[in-house]
Structure 1
């Protein structure tokens, strides 16, 4: 049997040259170890990250003492395994060098049996400064490699295979460190071990699925073994194997009768099979490795059509409109992310009707548990490789390092049915063409720089994928066109960020719709409860140094203020500004998402930037660092609903479009009412309609004058509902004038609070129209079943508040805010 000995205890660390050793946590990082030992202040509070910049220029040493018994040393082979070392490290065991590392994304192994002894052993790791090491590579470089986001005059990040955002990004600080960021252990085994199993559906029909298991074995010596494949408790196939020393690959085919397909969220169950491979020698079972996987087909369809070239995903033969977000790590320091955080975030995606996440290339390849949750939730993953917003070298050493990185992570992740596509990089091609990089590189060197780009993303990475995962689609860059050139609206995927420019209106989202919108967004400020965690009351001003430091992007505050004042009245105080910034973000993304879905099937994907935050800040996220939902996260359940009502109006007409992602035709009743703020119905319309599977269609067009003659629109709202057999499919409130022009009444909301097993039940009643009712709670990590919602006059609404850290909340912990409450008078 395989025996693992995890080495996560008794670690100490020190700055190279210091005498004193301090306690360390493994997995961990040097910054969090320094923080827990009181050597640096909390970098997330105010601007204290500035006090930690010195860490990046130092070398660090980590050491641990561990005990090995005789039984372990009797194993034929013993390997020291690091799942992640950040980044440049020299490893010695009992004063004998065993390993040198240069890439935090790789798994590192060393055979160490001959260096171990019974009793106490000492492991020592010397981490070299990633910045100083990067500077050595920079001095040797023959080209300039632009790296826009790196917050330093000396751009070393292109040479260092570690998390790009830690060098500074437009929403987070620069904190470059080192550490043992993933598990470390000894692996001891006899005879042979199963290194990897790749489950590959060879052919799938309704009646049967022919599956091939590709099994990589590692032998200690020559001998005979037996391999078998099991589904639950049933053996499906097996074969005898002649082992030899070193690695070898074996294949076993087996059949699953009447296979159940894995479906994306909203289209069916994400069914998973538990397949085990068992290795036995002539006397006993040696090892069992179990893989959870799903049976499905995913194709990226790019075919010429009337508008250019299509770009959509066909899952199990069905075209699927992708709805989701870009994923960034939930914590700046990866080891601090808990399984509960992962689960809450993926559950939030599933509940918001998402079916795809894009794992962004400026971070790291996620933990196995993240992909397991996506498998279970039916959330497809667009997986970037970890290259973002920079040009990269393509010398032999760098390319070989990348090859091993890609190999390690593709082998680790390829059995997950959630992985839909591999993508080479984030915005590197766009940067080369549009961000002034060619001038920075210098005209004589532009061709060489682009040749290096193609060597990395068009040759090296595809060659690894062809060997280890040829079935999945690959795109060299996001965004890019069908011809793999600069992004365009008529083919490929598109990132829309023109909204950040001055004088670009919100309506620009509707006129810039590509074939697949893989990035777009709008910034907002996090909940006041979150701001209180990183700022003092004296900082509660968008223009304060602390607020700007936790906003990061030049022009970000001005963008929010400019659009906010176009859509809403000036806020009376800081809390009102924060609240309205979230409504502004939601309105911006609503405009974009509706445009994308309305353009179906020309546009077949809408992934906003970004789901979450890695540190507490004002950003484009829908869920802040502490897990608090912004307005957009509550509203997404409607924006991404299977059936969506999209109203619009101009000077001539009111139009209503219905978009359906359901796999079947709906027969429904459409009801349209113009209601004033006292609840009186001024105009009404009702009709029956049928909407086909997966289509967008206009179902209501009427002259606007017929609906608005002699009516003051500042006091009215259009209520639209679509029902099928008394079941509400979709509902929308729509205003015929900007919110800033509405004469909102004081809604006089009455609230009743009742403790229940899951948290607090809140019953709301209003006598007048209430715009964007926001229930805030001072208790940390409180979520609501709904929030930031409108209420019609006389409406009663029940909301559940879920408290993660307490069982019961007092009434005093809650407060209620509406748009009317933000007015200066």
Structure 2
């Protein structure tokens, strides 16, 4: 047995369109695979179906000889024990068994002849591999892949055993300098496993056990591939593709460069990029082909907010046969520390990029992977929200190749933590050696992906120690300051490494130095003006709220919309040991921003409570990012905690557990546009208008400013024509646009307030199309609802259904509620006299057959408007 860096493809069929290699065989056993696939293949063959699994008490079976005859379940690989239980109808996801503290067996019959190599991409977590009753491998990390060579003569039984963590957790390896409250039990610091399922308060106790990554038999063709190591880089104006291809068997036509080719002609091998560029490869030895290909004036890969995420197809021509290897992108990444050297922002291809996005959790907590459809849906939502960065945090898992390939295709940067969080980790040789293998394998298999932008040692590790009062000398961990950065520099020199998140300054969690986790507005219940006072440079986490899903999700997925129902409260995140939860955080802002009594509203008018709860979070998200994106802001980015809920309910996600966007997602989609106008309240200086153009083109625009009284009467108006320079942010004082005094912020208070709302509209100068709108309410408190003249008309189109929404008065937070459809645009303000046409998107293929029927509301409109 030997552990090797794994090849970039996790599956084994060429799918160049997705930049990944995926097997789509529906086989049920190795025999079925052999009948469905060619007799010999250069690609690995996945062992996906035909597995069975069995759960037992710890040490009930010392070996396969002790297996009971009954109790086996059908199991999918890659997969987990929880996934098998779910498929069998046995899983209660809210109250699952403690899977990590029992034993679990998997078995599969292999059929074939001759030498074989088995590749196990990930086994969670303390595992054994048996072949025909003989133990061949022990593994103690779910993040390390293994190869197993063996001889197959007819049939053999492959068995995997996943042992209880209890004995390892009971054996103390070293004394920890601190103990975090986030994770239970604390002995998990010694185990290389995900913390998902072990964080009471915000994550369901669903523990990862099983072969969660693919298991493959490597190809049996003479030219079978062992590893395909593909990478790209930028050299001046050119792109460079490099390939190292390792074969499973020695190649008869392998003639190392410089050898005598007259005796044995070398097998010709050529690397192609697109249709125009190619380069000959050379043999390093009998197993290895290497080479580089230069693409002159290569088109760059960009985050989708700043350009096109251009990818270039790469293929290998070997002895006259072509093999698609996937796609690569060319981009450069640098860190901009700012004039004072204490900031943090990314420059992509030399352009400073404001990174906005969210912290990733999992597309499916049960499988830790999700289906291709779930991931595609998540990335489409991320792109449509204007998100250009996802952070995979240290409490999660390293994602499969498909995740990073989708990030490449959708133009979304990835901030990747190594799988460490909060703990004081061991520093013994065995632990460090395991981490080196883990990090090396991850970096090798993701080397091809342009989206990978930041590597981070882990989450809240230095912060945890500092908050407990330890000085820097007592909280240092060479794993994060020496070992991991050295590996990152060797394997991915094109990606920036940071030791910790947060990190920087005397306190590693200081908001105005380096990278912070900003919860001033949020858990710490600070007022909105704290956003500017905090001087955030880069928020790798921020804005955690118990975000309320829409009514359809609450009733369908949670089964209740009553906030005191035990099912509701069980889903609301909370910090262990705290006397409050994140419902309380949201309600604080309902009280201070909207002037309502949340407790009274909850029992007097629950639907109104839910509506205002959704609205206040949308308002907070909008205002915070307006401050961070304004001209002169020191902030280089903000990543909301989190992207998607792990279970139904009012979780941290801006998308609920079923993949349906919440009000926060819609607010951020309006605040994260590449071409944007935002408003900031400057007190006695009035309002500032900030015009943002992140595109590479100069944009002629028209800026309109209007102030309304009673939601309809114009009391101040102005229009100016402007040219927005490429990659620019420009500030204009509203007073300068208007050209006369007007108390926009109601700061001078000379008599009654003259207006209710200020609206800034940015239009394309040629077409008149609205590019962006921003709103400022001098009084945010929620008054009595009235008649805004809100109306909605349902229309059928060749593409489906749409709503046309209009209002006679300013309508605040217009929102659409439909059981079977979601509004592509939702939770927006609507000025009087404007119409908004909104596509209605079916939540599933089955629901597409049902005509839309729902209602349109606004928080200042008295009655719902029904359609359908």
Determine if the alignment matches structure 1 residue 135 to structure 2 residue 169.
Answer: yes
* Aligned residues of 1:389 and 1:428 also touching (Cα < 8 A): yes
Q: Conserved in 1, the CA contact under 8 Å of 2:531 and 2:627? A: yes
Q: Tell me: CA distance 1:219–1:10, structure 2 relative to 1, closer, same or farther (3 Å).
A: closer
Q: Which runs of 5+ in 2 are unaligned?
A: 1-40, 61-67, 256-266, 575-579, 736-740
Q: What is the correspondence of 1:556-635 to structure 2 with a 5 Å cutoff?
A: 556-568=582-594, 569-570=596-597, 571=601, 572-598=604-630, 600=632, 602-635=634-667
1:228 has 2:270 as partner: yes
- Identify which of 516, 532, 545 aligns with 1:510: 532
Pairing partner for 2:307 from 268, 280, 286: 268
- Cα 1:513–1:611 change in 2 (3 A) is farther
CA distance in 2, matches of 1:20, 1:329: 33
Counterpart of 1:729 (choices 752, 762, 771) is 771
Partner of 2:705: 672
Equivalent in 832, 847, 858 of residue 793 of structure 1: 832
Pair 107,743 (structure 1): closer, same or farther in 2 beyond 3 Å: same
Alignment match, 2:127: 89
Whole-angstrom distance in 1 between the partners of 2:271 and 2:186: 50
Alignment partner of 1:467 is 2:511: no
Asked if the contact 1:12–1:21 (Cα under 8 Å) also holds between the matched residues in 2, the reply is no
Tell me how far apart the structure 2 counterparts of residues 635 and 279 of structure 1 sit (CA, whole Å).
51
What is the deviation of 1:459? 1.6
1:361 matched to 2:394:
yes
In the alignment, the residues of structure 1 paired with residue 713 and residue 174 of structure 2 have an alpha-carbon distance, to the nearest angstrom, of: 73
Select the residue among 673, 680, 705 that pairs with 1:648. 680
Distance 2:275 2:681 in 1: 61
Report the alpha carbon displacement of residue 385 of structure 1 after superposing the two structures with TM. Answer: 1.0
Distance in 2 between the 1:822 and 1:336 partners? 44
Bigger share in helix: 1
Q: Give me the whole-angstrom Cα distance separating, in 2, the residues matched to 1:585 and 1:549.
A: 20
| Superposition pairs of residues 264-413 of structure 1, within 5 angstroms | 264-280=303-319, 288=323, 290-302=325-337, 305=339, 307-334=340-367, 337-413=370-446
List aligned pairs for 1:26-105, cutoff 5 A: 26=76, 27-40=78-91, 42-44=92-94, 49=95, 52-68=96-112, 73-74=113-114, 77-105=115-143
Which one of 206, 213, 225 corresponds to residue 243 of structure 2?
213
Q: Which residue of 2 aligns with 1:541?
A: 562
**Partner residue, 2:714:** 681
Query: Structure 1 residues 503, 30: closer, same or farther in 2, change over 3 A?
Result: closer
Please say if residues 203 and 211 of structure 1, whose CA atoms lie closer than 8 Å, have aligned partners that are also in contact.
no
CA distance in structure 2 between the partners assigned to 1:406 and 1:400 by the alignment: 10
Q: 2:690 touches 2:731 (CA, 8 Å); kept in 1?
A: yes
Q: Is the 8 A contact 2:104 2:163 kept in 1?
A: yes
Aligned residues: 777
Moved more, 365-374 or 679-688: 679-688
Q: CA deviation at 1:535?
A: 3.8
Q: Secondary structure at the match of 2:657?
A: coil
Write the deviation string for residues 651-682 of structure 1: whole angstroms up to 9, x where unpaired: 53422221423345544332211123352212
Judging changes above 3 Å, is the alpha-carbon distance between structure 1 residues 564 and 19 closer, same or farther for their aligned structure 2 residues?
A: farther
Judged with a 3 Å threshold, the aligned counterparts in structure 2 of structure 1 residues 482 and 253 are, in CA distance, closer, same or farther, namely: farther
Partner secondary structure for residue 265 of structure 1? coil
Give distance in 1, aligned partners of 2:795 and 2:850.
9
Contact 2:81 2:210 in 1 (8 A): yes
Label 1:693 to 1:640 Cα distance change in 2 as closer, same or farther (>3 A).
same
1:528 to 551, 571, 582: 551
Q: Look up the SS of the partner of 1:801 in the other structure.
A: strand
Contact 1:521 1:608 in 2 (8 A): yes
Q: Does 1:450 align with 2:494?
A: no
Are 2:145 and 1:107 equivalent residues in the alignment? yes
Match of 2:52 in 1: 12
Cα pair distance change 1:704/1:651, threshold 3 Å: farther
CA distance in 1, matches of 2:297, 2:727: 27
What's the counterpart of residue 168 of structure 1? 199
Q: Which residue of 2 aligns with 1:183?
A: 214
Which of 68, 71, 80 pairs up with 1:21? 71
Shift of 1:60: 1.1
Give 3-state SS (helix, strand or coil) of 1:559's partner.
Answer: helix
Matched, 1:820 2:860: yes
The answer to whether the Cα contact below 8 Å between 1:381 and 1:421 also exists between their aligned partners in 2 is yes
TM-superposed CA distance for 1:233, in Å, is 5.3
Q: TM-score, normalised by structure 2?
A: 0.83
1:7–1:66 CA contact under 8 A, matched in 2: no
**Structure 1: gaps (5+ residues):** none
What is the CA-CA distance between 1:509 and the residue it aligns to? 2.0
Distance 2:650 2:313 in 1: 42
1:747 counterpart = 2:783: no
Superposition deviation, residue 204 in structure 1: 3.1
